[in-house]
Structure 1
Amino acid sequence: MTILCLRFQLPSAGETVLPGLLTLLREFTPVVEAAPPDAALADLGGAERYFGRNAVELAAVIRVRALALYGVDCAIGAGPGPMLARMAARDAAPGVTRVVHEDPDAVAEFLADKPVWALPGVGAATARTLGSYGLDTIGRLAAAPLSTVQRLVGARAGRELHEKAHGIDRSRVVPNAAARSLASERTFPRDELDPFQHRRALLSITEELGARLRAEKQVCRVLALTVRYADRSTTTRSRTLPEPTAHSSALTDAAYRMYEALGLQRARVRAVALRAEGLGPAEGTAHQLSFDPEDEKARRLEEAADKARARFGPGAVIPGALAA
């Protein structure tokens, strides 16, 4: 067991903390992969030999140091590969390390009762196709003949899916750096079922991100949405914007579109987060001209609101939908 997946409980301004946390991980191993918006993978194969400790013991040290240096707790998954480590981290509560041992029986037991959509690469359409044939859990998928799975989803995809259902993971931890980004999260006081409250939280976040981008004279090219559910599982989607922007209305529209595309029906949502990625300087950024007077009016109002916030604080001006 050499791979850790760490899901950090980042504050709203997590983009300022994440690079430091990645640096902390690199004190244990150079093989660290940032996994935005709030996670990282670390291959501890060499670290186990160097420090004379196993991955679980090293995970405990990393957690203590993250808390001491940054005030950030984390949920940690440990497994023989990135896929199982990620899945274990989704099962773990903050302050807990969930371990999946390399033994095939232990892997099979860990995966057996999980829904097929828990496997990476299985979207809603594939899950529906498999479910219509009774392959709604990973255990049932693993027990199905390879030829059956290939007939349902295709030869190549079927083979990859069948391997993943048996815990076979051919991916590796690829060292990278955290991309420059801005992020914010809203956690509900209780598991929230109401889509209106979900959208209200997204509006609050896009207003905040837009104001922060404009204050820093930045624009973003990509917006990523993360939804965390009551069972601590998460869904992340991203969208490349039509043009780089810092305007809250454009961010809100993109966030709503991603949220609607998830098709959440009576989902128990614990938190929603947005991350503005692909940042660049606003100066010199091309803007597509609009002849819509409402668009120009919105931009003028946004400029006036920014001036009021700069003078009286971030809560000086908020949308009417958030004042109710």
Structure 2
Amino acid sequence: MLAYFGVRSAAAVAGTPMLAAMACALTPLGRRTVIDDSPEAISAFLRPRPVRELPGVGGKTAALLGEYGLHTVGDVADVPQHTLQRLLGARAGRALYEHARGHDTTAVDPTPAPASLSTEHLFPRDELDPAAHRRILLALADDLGARLRATDQIATGVTCTIRYADLTATRRSRTLPEATQHTVLLARAAYTLYDSLGLQRARVRSMTLRADALQPAERATRQLTLDASDDKPLAIEAVADRARTRYGHQVIYPAALAISSRPPSARQWDRGRR
């Protein structure tokens, strides 16, 4: 890092992501730490550390544990799991019990999911018609929704970027009421962003729609409550996804995009997590 980028860094190697992260936080810049995978080496590293250095232990939890004389990781490691669960709850107590013993089931994903998905449409000529703008927003939302569902992700925000004939651009973002992967809801958010711009006879060169702050679909806290009018589009959406998986994306698309012989095309890209 120093030779290539001029940045001093620290590194740590251990048998689990948790141990490596804890060791790296203690390693001086320009140095590295290696923790052997033996139980003795793990115990020697962990037991003297303050309990607040374990993942998931904040100030309040550390203070609560301190009231019971549990100040170090070693103190916690000597306590039965059921005792920790009585203090912190079943899930948090079990996690702390495992972490204090150096156990970490976090998987290392060499190809993490992108932090955002974007899709763009470049008009063949500068477009003034608001109806054409809205059709493109629907096409972009349709593309994003299909990609989110195909990768089992949900978006918690949407960003719309409008680029004009003079190459200036306007960008608007909003956080969704609930994270979603459904085209109808992404399109609704895109229309809201577009309407907020109040464009009057604007010559639009391109439009970009981005799904932000992506999360795995299983992290959704609850099922989104939809209006009854959304039931049919969502049922059609599921059928369309199956058809596209088998025959390609262009085989089926929203009827509002059928004004021409082909639906609008879009460029796509993913933005990785930083």
TM-score bracket, normalised by the shorter chain, equals 0.5 to 0.7
Residue 262 of structure 2 is aligned to residue 316 of structure 1: no
Question: 2:125 is matched with which residue?
Answer: 190
Pair 1:190–1:300, CA change in 2 (3 A): same
Equivalent residue, structure 2, for 1:208: 143
Distance 2:124 2:213 in 1: 31
Q: 1:240 and 2:154 equivalent? A: no
Deviations 1:157-216 (A, max 9, x none): xxxxxxxxxxxxxxxxxxxxxx71100000101111111111111111000000000000
Query: Is 2:211 the counterpart of 1:276?
Result: yes
Q: Is the 8 A contact 2:178 2:224 kept in 1?
A: no
Call closer, same or farther: CA 1:226–1:30 in 2, change over 3 Å: farther
For residues 1-324 of structure 1, the aligned pairs below 5 Å read 180-288=115-223, 290=225, 292-324=227-259
The alpha-carbon distance between structure 1 residues 194 and 291, as it changes in their structure 2 partners (threshold 3 A), is closer
Structure 1 pair 301–221 and aligned structure 2 pair: CA distance change class (3 A): same
Distance in 1, Cα, partners of 2:141 & 2:205: 18
Please give the alpha-carbon distance, in whole angstroms, between the structure 2 residues aligned to 1:276 and 1:246: 9
Give per-residue Cα distances to partners, 1:244-263, cap 9 Å, x unaligned. Answer: 00000000000000000000
Deviation at 1:286, TM superposition (A): 3.0
The separation in 1 between residues aligned to 2:121 and 2:197, in whole angstroms, is 18
Unaligned runs of 5+ in 1: 1-26, 32-178
Instruction: Determine the C-alpha separation between the residues in 2 that align with 1:280 and 1:183.
Output: 15
- Cα separation, 1, equivalents of 2:125 and 2:191: 22
Unaligned runs of 5+ in 2: 8-113, 260-274
How many residues are treated as equivalent by the alignment?
Answer: 153
SS class of match (2:195): helix
Write the letter of the residue equivalent to 2:240: A
In the alignment, residue 145 of structure 2 is paired with which amino acid?
G
In 2, Cα distance between equivalents of 1:297 and 1:290: 14
Q: Give the number of the structure with larger relative contact order, counting CA–CA contacts within 8 Å between residues 6 or more apart.
A: 2
Question: What's the TM-score once normalised by structure 2's chain length?
Answer: 0.52
Mapped to 2, the partners of 1:210 and 1:194 lie a distance apart of 25
Point out 4+ residue stretches in structure 1 off by more than 6 angstroms: none
* Offset at residue 295 of structure 1 (A): 2.1
Q: Output one character per residue of 1:108-131: Cα deviation in whole Å (capped at 9) or x when no partner.
A: xxxxxxxxxxxxxxxxxxxxxxxx
The DSSP-based 3-state class of the residue aligned with 2:131 is: helix
Give the C-alpha shift of residue 317 in structure 1.
1.2
* Superposed CA offset, 1:250-281 (max 9, x none): 00000000000000001111000011110000
**Contact residue 184 and residue 230 of structure 2 kept, 8 A:** no
Distance 1:295 1:183, change over 3 A: same
| Separation of aligned partners in 2, 1:273 and 1:182 | 11
CA distance in 1, matches of 2:129, 2:229: 30
SS in 1 for 2:221: coil
Give the 3 Å change call, closer, same or farther, for CA 312–244 of structure 1 in structure 2: same
For residue 263 of structure 1, what is the amino acid of its counterpart? G
Q: Deviations over 1:25-58 (max 9, x none)?
A: xx98679xxxxxxxxxxxxxxxxxxxxxxxxxxx
Kindly indicate whether the alpha-carbon contact (under 8 Å) linking 2:160 and 2:209 is maintained by their aligned counterparts in 1.
yes
CA distance in 1 between counterparts of 2:164 and 2:180 reads 29
The Cα RMSD (Å) is 2.4
1:207 partner SS: helix
Classify 1:276/1:291 alpha carbon distance in 2 versus 1 (closer, same or farther; 3 Å): closer
Q: Output the CA distance in 2 between the equivalents of 1:203 and 1:30.
A: 45
